[in-house]
Structure 1
Amino acid sequence: MALSFAIAATVGAEPAEVSSYLADVRGEFVKKWPENRTVYLVCHGHSVPAGYFETPEVRPFDSYPHLLNVALQERHPTAMIEVVRTAIGGENSEQGVKRFAADVLAKKPDVITIDYALNDRRIGLQRARVAWESMIRQAKEQGVKVILVTPSPDQRSDFNDPKDPLALHAAQVRELAAIHEVGLADSFAAFQQAVAAGTPLADLMSHVNHPNRKGHELIAGEIAPWFGVEPPLEFEAGTNSP
């Protein structure tokens, strides 16, 4: 019943508008010293934003929070931009919401990304919804902008089955973005499009459920337009191997 009501409530609803949602943040990017200030983006979630590749190897400089930081700084060389990871490998959204106030909001961020759907399959859609909505509401109460991130792939899942649990969680993240009128970075769709265009999924992954650098570039490319930076993003040559 609750799920049916939520789906009905999204009829006609849309996520925030890419061109205007972070207008204030974009305005800070163009300010120069001494009028500028540090803009803080916090990436909250599980092992993917934490930078895990082939477990237990951690490669933060090849992960999407860092790649996003690089892309934004290159576009705005006079801006002060700090991207902070509060992600913990293995965590789900119920665990993430418990430390949201102390670990995320306490940093006084301008923007928060939330990326938990890959691990939320363990707790199911309803419990995940409660946790995600709590984080969204807490952020909005503090005047903090939010970008929800749909899951990156798990090679054990049926990527093309809309009833696969991972696809269902991706759909729920899209729904929450529409209901709460916050930002949406649709990583799941970006990976689907890359595969449909001929890129083998394995070429985007370092582990069964962790993207490699190419995969992280896809995710960064979904977040960057909210800050006025359109893909393809320009990065220095780096390792793209698993």
Structure 2
Amino acid sequence: MKIIDKLNMDYEGLVKNGPITIVCFGDSVTHGFLVADEINYETVYWNRLRQKINEVRNYIPVNVIDAGIGGITAKASLERMESQVFSHKPDLIIICFGLNDVNGTLEEYLDSLGIIFDRCKECDIDAIFMTPNMLNTYVADDTEECHLDYAAVTAQFQNSGKMDTFMDAACKLAFEKGITVCDCYSKWKEISKTQDTTMLLANRINHPTKEMHKLFANSLFDTIFKNS
């Protein structure tokens, strides 16, 4: 049963088909990290999404499984894909990788995403590839001292266009594989024309602030309901 059909269930449909299950498969942003020692499961995008869905479908329980792990890549997540994602038989899988993958090669990133996308299609499970936020564009003065060197690296990834290349290629792959794309990265790029996006990162490197998780939640909500 497609996610949009479950979202439009009446009481009888709920009795027959049960609650909605969403698995969010990703890295530290999905995990809920803000800064190194702070994780917030209340303000993270998937919880905001769950709340938004229940604002319009309050009689349908929405269960979200957080399969995000800080510091991980799409390639490193392949070995946990079956046990942590597909074993739950979700109605929707939200996939968000790229922030750590940009440390490696584009080929490795795309190959890994391709395996994940293909598995979603094989299992006939609705999936959304959500592009992540931008990286920092400079080393901010208030960056934690232990992260200064890495902040310089990520700024180079962003300013050189490497992150743009990764996101463009990932979106192209998703379209080719028939996976829905929720392109939040392009929204960050648009914001960057008028705002300092580095200041919209809680750790000044790659973790969006609590407020910016709303952008993810709102974008996902619109993507899910666009055909309702």
Q: Does 1:45 align with 2:43?
A: no
* Structure 1 residue 55, shift from structure 2 partner: 1.1
> 1:84-233 residue pairs with structure 2 within 5 A?
84-155=65-136, 156-157=154-155, 164-196=161-193, 198-207=194-203, 208-228=205-225
Look up the SS of the partner of 2:128 in the other structure.
strand
CA contact (8 A) 1:191 1:218 kept: no
* Structure 1 residue 224, shift from structure 2 partner: 1.2
Tell me the equivalent position of 1:233: none
Cα distance in 2 for partners of 1:160, 1:41 equals: 31
TM score, norm. by length of structure 2: 0.84
Tell me the equivalent position of 1:7: none
CA contact (8 A) 2:24 2:67 kept: yes
2:2 is aligned, of 24, 37, 47, to 24
1:35 is aligned, of 2, 6, 13, to 13
* Structure 1 residue 200, shift from structure 2 partner: 2.5
| CA deviation string 1:167-215 (max 9, x = no partner) | 111111111111111110111111112222x332134221121001222
CA contact (8 A) 2:134 2:158 kept: no
CA contact (8 A) 2:2 2:126 kept: no
Look up the SS of the partner of 1:53 in the other structure.
strand
User: Aligned AA for 1:48?
Assistant: V
Higher helix residue share: 2
User: Aligned AA for 1:167?
Assistant: D
List structure 1 segments (4+ residues) > 6 angstroms apart after TM superposition.
none
Look up the SS of the partner of 1:211 in the other structure.
coil
Cα distance in 2 for partners of 1:200, 1:217 equals: 17
CA contact (8 A) 1:30 1:78 kept: no
| CA deviation string 1:110-164 (max 9, x = no partner) | 1111111111112211011111111111111111111112121210436875x52
Look up the SS of the partner of 2:2 in the other structure.
helix
Cα distance in 2 for partners of 1:159, 1:133 equals: 23
Quote the RMSD (CA, aligned, Å): 2.0
Cα distance in 2 for partners of 1:154, 1:99 equals: 26
Tell me the equivalent position of 2:142: none
Cα distance in 1 for partners of 2:191, 2:52 equals: 21
Q: Report how many aligned residue pairs link the two structures.
A: 206
In the alignment, structure 1 segments of 5+ residues that lack a partner are: 1-22, 231-242
TM score, norm. by length of structure 1: 0.79
**Counterparts in 2 of 1:28 and 1:133: CA distance versus 1, 3 Å:** same
**Counterparts in 2 of 1:159 and 1:128: CA distance versus 1, 3 Å:** closer
Cα distance in 1 for partners of 2:217, 2:165 equals: 22
